[in-house]
Every structure is written in structure tokens, then in C-alpha cells.
Amino acid sequence: MTDALKYPVPSEAEFYLSVFQCFPFPTVVLKPDMLIWEVNTSFLKRFGIDREDAVGKPCYEVFHGRTTPCPESYCNFRQAFNSGLECCILHESKDRLGKPMMEEVRLTPLLDKKGHVWGVLESLNDVTEAKRLHDIQVETNEFLNRLLDSLVGVVVAADLKGKILFVNRSVERVLGFKVEELVGKPLWKISTDEELKKVRKTMQANQGRALMIRTKVRTKSGEEIPGRINSALVYREGKPVATVGIFTDLREQMKMEDEVAQARMQVLQSDKLAGLGRMAAGIAHELNNPLTGITIIAELLKESLDPESPAQDDLSGILEDAERCREIVKGLLDYSRQSDLKVKNVDLSQVVEDAFNLIRDDSIFLNVEVIRHYAREPLLIQGDPKLLRQVFINLLMNAVDAMEGHGRLTVTTVMGPDGWRHAEISDTGPGISIDYVNKIFDPFFTTKSVGKGTGLGLSVVFGVLERHGGMISVKETGPQGTTFLVRLPPEAPDEFLALIREMEPVIMEDEEIS
């Protein structure tokens, strides 16, 4: 206590002046007329002047060497003085050496005991480095956002409660959502709880990572699309704070995989059919002669016997079986296609309509609703009209058989996106068993009862289309029915034309397009 009394206690004015001088930032006190009333040491150092060079002079003269006040758009003195509220503004300036710098100018009104503004405290804070770091951060963030937006996959970040924190612009293309429609929303807006649990479970089992996980997400329209996600936890100071995932849309890839698989099956089927075709041709020719003999002898016997003879029924049975064998032989010849071929330019829609007209028994369509959706423009293709009509006769008959004569048959022709000509035959039958889908184009495979079918119809269809460079596939099947898709190129392949040249000169004709 005795030592403390040795130091005199400063007056209130001296105390505040001492504190003012200790401010680390250059600071001045301005009077209502903008004259400098006091400056601190940091201010004098900042401008490299003495106290008498500043006190009593206008701030705009000391700061900027001006003879008139700064514009109000630049200087907030009047705003702070008149409103009694603190103002802050950033100014580009130069230091004593002329080096550019960024300063934060803060203007704080000074109030007397009655609350009246009697002056303004103006302090300058060098924020050059802070501004530089801020600009770097902004530039980095913008670069990262552009980088994330350029990714093909959908990038989604969410907190641990599942609230979406960030999505990139790819979400608009893939899912149809605007970015602002998802930020702040729960993850289950774009995914099901089951799928989210599957990814979360994988992450828990793999140290916070889930790689190459097949999943599904929902578009804005509610469609579920298949994809693959790579997801990971985001850590801060060793603790998980968020998750981030990249979703890749696999629709195009799966479509390509299906096309490749279909093409591979087509090649295998073609190889198998080629060998079987050669064998079928030999068998057909070997069977034709004895069948002709059996038929002639049975007919002669029927004519020589009394009409009431008990043997008549047996001979009729022989003739029926011989005729069935002849149909099988005809199918084998069609399958191996040893008869004459001709190439013409035909309209696919007209070929399908001709197939309807060539089906002799109109009664089979009596209880079938037939819907035709033909392309408006001609879908010209090159091929043998007779063979192509047989393709659609077989498909139409199969469709009616599948519906057991009752249902709806829809035929559609259209120009495909690849320039190929497409025809779809749809029925409302019970569908094809998944066990049979890969077998229906095999020769002699049939689900019909004995005597009802040879099992050559679809194999003939496959062989004819394959020779024309086309293909057939089961587009969809189920309890609601089956749709077969026929695809044909606009021009016949060289192999098909070469085959015809071996048999006779090719005559290219145009069928009348109606």
C-alpha cells in the first residue's frame, strides 16, 4: 500500500488519453467539422508525421491531401455522426512506401452524458493480409465448386442427421432437382430408408467407407434409377461430422451391357442355328421322298377300299400324320432356307399389314382387339418380302395363341433412334416364364402340347431376321403380357446379298408402297 501511494492516480482525462494512445490501430478523434481533435501514436507512425501535422487539420487533408471533404460514397463520417451508429467500410489505400494495401475504416460515434454525438472515433485496421487470404479462400471455394459441378456423378454431402449440406449441379441433369430444392432437405428425399441403411451399414463395417455400392435413387418425378455410390465419412479433429458420396448413374452402362449381352447371345444363337440349318436341310431332303411314297400309297389304299371299311380311319390317321411330317419338313426347309430368295425395297409397316391379310383364318381374331400404330412415313428396308411376311405371320399367330384367342394385340412400327426400323408385337397373354426366355428361339423348343406345334416358328423368325442383318428380342414379359421387338437395318447386309448371288442374279425391285 505504501509503494502504491508513491505513484499518483491519473485523472479521468489522463486515463482515457493513455488508453487511447495504447490502441494498436491508427486512430483519430474527429470533431463535428471533421477537424482532427486528437491522434494516437499508431496513427503518427502509419502516416510518418508529427502530432502538430495532424491535430486541428481536416481529416481529408491529412489522410488524402484533399482540400474538400471526400464524397459520401467514400466517407461514412456524416452517416455515423448523424445516425449515432457505428459504420465500417473497406478502402483501398497505400502505405508510406506507396505499396497498395486494404484498410478497414471503422467510425464510432462519441456520446456525451446526455447521449448527444460530440465527435467520431475513426480507426484504421490494415486487413491486407486478411483480405488476401479471404480472396484465396473464395477463389479456392469457387474452383472446388466448379470442379465438383464438372463431375459427371452427383456429389452429395450431408450431416450425420441426414440433412443435405451440398449437392453439385449434376443433380439437375441426373435427378431433375434444382440445387436449392435439396440443400437443407433430408437425404430420403432422393433415396429410400432401406438404401440409406445399406450404405450406412457398409460404411460402419469398412472404417467409414462404402465403395462401389449398387443402389437406387429417386428423381424429382419419382422414378427410381439404378446407380453406384462411393461414400465416406468426413472428419474434423478426429471426429466424424458429415458424409459425402458420389453417385454414378448406371442407366446407360446397364443399357450397353444388355446390348452387349444380347449381341453375344445373338452370335451364339447364329452359330448354333447355322450348324442346325445345315443338318435340317439334309434331314428335310431325306424325309421328303419316303413321305411322298407314304402319302401316295395311303391315298391309293383309301380309294381302293370300301368307304365303310374300318381301315379308312387308320389310313386317314396315316395321311394326317404324314401331312404333319410334311409341315415339319417344310419348316426345316424354311429354317435352312434352301428355296429361292429375292431382294426388294419394302415398307416394314406394309409387310406387317400383309401378314395380317395372309392369315387365312380370320376367325382367330374374332375375340381379339387389334390395335395398329404404324409409322406415318414409310420405313423402307431391303429384304425378301415372302420371308419377312412369314416372320410376322409367326409372331402374330404366336401372340393370338398366347392369349388363347381372347385379348388385345398391339402392333407398332417406328423409326428407331439409330436409324433402324423397329416393329413391336404386344399381347395381353400370361407372359413367358423366366426359365424359357432364353430358349424360345431354339429349334424344336415349344411349350405347346404334342401335336400343336413343331417348335420351329420362332427359330425360323430368328434365322430370317439374322440373315437380313436384324434381330429379335423379348422387350418385356410378365403377367400383363409379352412384347417382342424386331429391329431391321435399312439395307440388307452384304452376306445376305452374297448368298442370293450364289443362287441367282439379284434383282432389286421396289414393291408398291401403299
Mean pLDDT of 202-229: 92
Is residue 250 predicted with pLDDT exceeding 50? yes
Is residue 397 predicted with pLDDT exceeding 80? yes
Does 138 map to a domain? no
What pLDDT shows up at residue 451? Answer: 43
Cα within 13 Å of Cα(486), Cβ side: 29
Q: Please provide the size of the chain in residues.
A: 514
Is residue 38 predicted with pLDDT exceeding 80? yes
What pLDDT shows up at residue 6? Answer: 61
Distances (CA, A) of 275 to 284, 335, 364: 14, 11, 35
Question: What separation, in Å, do the N-terminal and C-terminal C-alpha atoms of the chain show?
Answer: 122
374 and 508 in a single domain? The answer is yes
Does 377 map to a domain? yes
405 and 259 in a single domain? The answer is no
295 and 433 in a single domain? The answer is no
Confidence of residue 151 (pLDDT cuts 50, 70, 90): confident
Confidence of residue 384 (pLDDT cuts 50, 70, 90): confident
Helices (H), 305-361: 311-336, 348-358
Mean pLDDT of 305-323: 84
Task: Please check whether residue 334 is in contact with residue 280, taking contact to mean a CB–CB distance below 8 angstroms.
Answer: no
311 and 345 in a single domain? The answer is no
Which grid cell is 129?
493480409
Last residue of a domain, one of 313, 339, 365: 339
What pLDDT shows up at residue 268? Answer: 62
Does 444 map to a domain? yes
429 and 511 in a single domain? The answer is yes
Does 63 map to a domain? yes
Last residue of a domain, one of 339, 358, 383: 339
Is residue 454 predicted with pLDDT exceeding 50? no
Does 131 map to a domain? no
Is residue 266 predicted with pLDDT exceeding 80? no
192 and 302 in a single domain? The answer is no
Location of C-alpha cell 464524397? 71
DSSP assignment of 263-319 equals: HHHHHHHHHHHHHHHHHHHHHHHHHHHHHHHHHHHHHHHHHHS-TT-THHHHHHHHH
Mean pLDDT of 267-274: 59
329 and 399 in a single domain? The answer is no
What pLDDT shows up at residue 514? Answer: 43
Mean pLDDT check: name the lowest of 60-69, 324-333, 375-384: 324-333
368 and 393 in a single domain? The answer is yes
Distance, in Å, from the CA atom of 492 to the CA atom of 274, rounded to the nearest integer, reads 19
Is residue 449 predicted with pLDDT exceeding 60? no
Distance, in Å, from the CA atom of 36 to the CA atom of 33, rounded to the nearest integer, reads 9
What pLDDT shows up at residue 35? Answer: 95
Higher pLDDT, 406 or 3: 406
Domain span including residue 487 = 341-514
Distances (CA, A) of 69 to 62, 72, 75, 92, 468: 11, 9, 9, 18, 90
Is residue 267 predicted with pLDDT exceeding 80? no
Question: What are the φ and ψ backbone dihedral angles of 433, each rounded to 5 degrees?
Answer: -60, 140
Q: What is the CATH number of the domain that holds 268?
A: 1.10.287
Q: What is the CATH number of the domain that holds 416?
A: 3.30.565.10
Q: Write down the mean pLDDT value for the chain.
A: 84
Distance, in Å, from the CA atom of 356 to the CA atom of 353, rounded to the nearest integer, reads 5
Quick one: the chain helix, strand, coil %, rounded to 5?
Answer: 40, 25, 30
For the chain, how many structural domains are there in total? 4
Mean pLDDT check: name the lowest of 46-60, 371-385, 434-448, 472-486: 434-448
Is residue 487 predicted with pLDDT exceeding 80? yes
Does 141 map to a domain? no
505 and 363 in a single domain? The answer is yes
pTM score of the predicted model: 0.45
Residue 191, strand partner residues: none
Mean pLDDT check: name the lowest of 60-74, 196-210, 354-368: 354-368
Q: What is the CATH number of the domain that holds 186?
A: 3.30.450.20
- Crossing angle between the packed helical segments 494-503 and 457-467, to the nearest 10 degrees: 100
Is residue 299 predicted with pLDDT exceeding 60? yes
Is residue 351 predicted with pLDDT exceeding 90? yes
Last residue of a domain, one of 196, 228, 249: 249
Which letter does DSSP use for residue 420 in this model? Answer: -
Is residue 284 predicted with pLDDT exceeding 70? no
Is residue 467 predicted with pLDDT exceeding 80? yes
Question: Nearest CA to 421 among 356, 375, 467?
Answer: 375
Does 21 map to a domain? yes
Higher pLDDT, 413 or 467: 413
Confidence of residue 375 (pLDDT cuts 50, 70, 90): very high
Does 135 map to a domain? no
Confidence of residue 278 (pLDDT cuts 50, 70, 90): low
Mean pLDDT of 265-291: 65
| Highest-scoring range by mean pLDDT, 35-39, 328-332, 490-494 | 35-39
Is residue 510 predicted with pLDDT exceeding 60? no
398 and 512 in a single domain? The answer is yes
173 and 94 in a single domain? The answer is no
400 and 476 in a single domain? The answer is yes
What pLDDT shows up at residue 513? Answer: 45
Is residue 113 predicted with pLDDT exceeding 90? no
